[in-house]
Amino acid sequence: MFWQFDIKILPPEVKANPELSDTGDDCRYNIVGVSNTSLRAVFINRPLSDFSIVDGGIIRPLKPTDVN
């Protein structure tokens, strides 16, 4: 599951540092310089359709059945 978003929606003090994942995914970023409380306000109440999943090699919006 992942969420592609514009960094401009984050508080101005945020730094997004590229971070290579354990699987070699280079599209991952580590968000630093902001509290979890501040970030929670950005993430809370987002519809599942804002998030995506790779399903059989195809990227598609997340559905409620994916998280049950």
Q: For every residue of the chain, which 3-state class applies, written as one string?
A: CECCCCHHHCCCCCEEEECCCCCCCCCCEEEECCCHHHHHHHHCCCCHHHCEEEECCEEEECCHHHHC
Residue 36 lies in a domain: yes
Looking at the domain assignment, is residue 31 inside a domain? yes
How many domains is the chain partitioned into structurally?
Answer: 1
Please, what is the end-to-end C-alpha distance for the chain in angstroms? Answer: 13
CA distance 9 to 4: 11
Whether 40 maps to a domain, the answer reads: yes
**Domain enclosing residue 51, as ranges:** 7-67
In a domain, 38, yes or no: yes
Structure tokens at 64: 């409620």
Residue 2 lies in a domain: no
Residue whose pair of structure tokens reads 């059945």 in the numeric block: 65
What pLDDT, in 10s, does the model give residues 4-57? 888 888 888 888 888 887 777 777 888 889 888 888 888 888 888 899 998 998
For residue 8, the model assigns a pLDDT of 85
Instruction: Decide if 29 is inside a domain.
Output: yes
pLDDT computed for residue 28 by the predictor? 80
